[in-house]
Amino acid sequence: MYLASVDGLKEGDVLAKKIYNADGQLLLETGKRLNRHYINKLKALGLTHIYLKDNRLKEIKKEDIEIIPDKIKEEAIIIARESFKRISSGNIKLSKKEEDQLNKLITDIINSTISNKNILNCLKDVRVLEDELFFHLTNVAVLSLVVGKKLGYSKEALFELGIGAFLHDIGKIRISPEILNKPGKLSEEEFEEIKKHTIYGYEILSNMEGISESSARIAYLHHERCDGSGYPKGITKRYIDEYAKIVAIADVFDAMMNDRAYRASIKVKEVIEYMYTAFTENKMDRDLLAIFLKMITPYPIGTTVRLSIGCEAVVTQVNEAMMLRPIVKVLNFNGLDKELEIDLSEDLDIDIIDD
């Protein structure tokens, strides 16, 4: 299994992971052999990458490519969409059933992050662009909980963090879709309107039963920066809650790693470089960011990379001591009579030049 660009798909390629939309509807089943119709459909949906099967590659364990089980992620995306629909209609009171669903979801995510040792081995989503917000909410909750777990948070603290992270962008329901999904650069007035989603989010969550003040403040503070350059208030590190500092890191990381309506995803090395820049410029909490960056696998198993010897390869194993130099299996190399696997930590003459 490997992550392939939709632009490079060929008829006959075999899908390795199911593809869903944010309503939980199955779009394509595992094992589906792609034809021109399916390839065009994937492009029309705005997908840029999907997982394909390749008999030359050893079967990859599910836990090596999933942050949380697919079933939990599907439930999370559906609950996020339903919550946004209800609140956008003016009804901010959750029914007992909806509250139970939300509580169970966060508990399931917490339990998954506690049991999964390779929690950050998979960082790229196969997401339909029109559903990007709901995938983003789920990922930010998961990534935030990983940090909370590393900090030794109690179950109660993890729950508060998880709820707030999962609903951190709820204020966007009050922003015009034309502004929210604008593909080009925002005007100054439009950006000022976007910034209000933090205030709207706090207003919504602080009026919802079952949501603590600590969780609600995540929506308000997740765009503040430690050097005072953030919004809505421009406050500095000492005035920003720790939960919000954690969510700020997860929010930026997931937004850059995955495709958005206004731009394609950014290469993983560039994302990590940006995060280190935020570290040195004191925009994000240095201690929390250091914890986060130590947990990142730059080239997760299944990632397709281009090597300096002029061919593509797939990451088959991560080198814990040298994260930037994984073990890879060559996919195409002219004149090669046998399969070739290269440990880049040992062969230092070969580099990854693209991902």
DSSP 84-120: HHHHHTT--PPPHHHHHHHHHHHHHHHHHHHH-TTTT
The residue-averaged pLDDT of 13-40 equals 82
Which of 4-13, 144-153, 230-239 is predicted least confidently?
4-13
* pLDDT in the model for residue 322: 83
Task: Answer yes or no: is pLDDT of 64 > 60.
Answer: no
| Sheet containing strand 327-330, strands side by side | 341-343, 327-330, 312-317, 304-307, 352-354
What is the per-residue pLDDT across 303-338, written as a single tens digit (0 to 9) for each? Answer: 888 899 888 888 888 887 788 899 998 877 666 545
The residue-averaged pLDDT of 37-66 equals 72
pLDDT band (50, 70, 90) for residue 114? low
Closest CA to 257 of 278, 243, 244, 272: 272
pTM: 0.79
* pLDDT in the model for residue 102: 87
* pLDDT in the model for residue 188: 93
* pLDDT in the model for residue 49: 76
Highest mean pLDDT among 55-69, 243-257, 260-274: 243-257
Query: Residue 285 corresponds to which tokens in the numbers above?
Result: 């909490």
pLDDT band (50, 70, 90) for residue 119? very low
* pLDDT in the model for residue 61: 58
Task: Answer yes or no: is pLDDT of 115 > 60.
Answer: no
Task: Answer yes or no: is pLDDT of 165 > 60.
Answer: yes
pLDDT band (50, 70, 90) for residue 191? very high
Task: Answer yes or no: is pLDDT of 129 > 70.
Answer: no
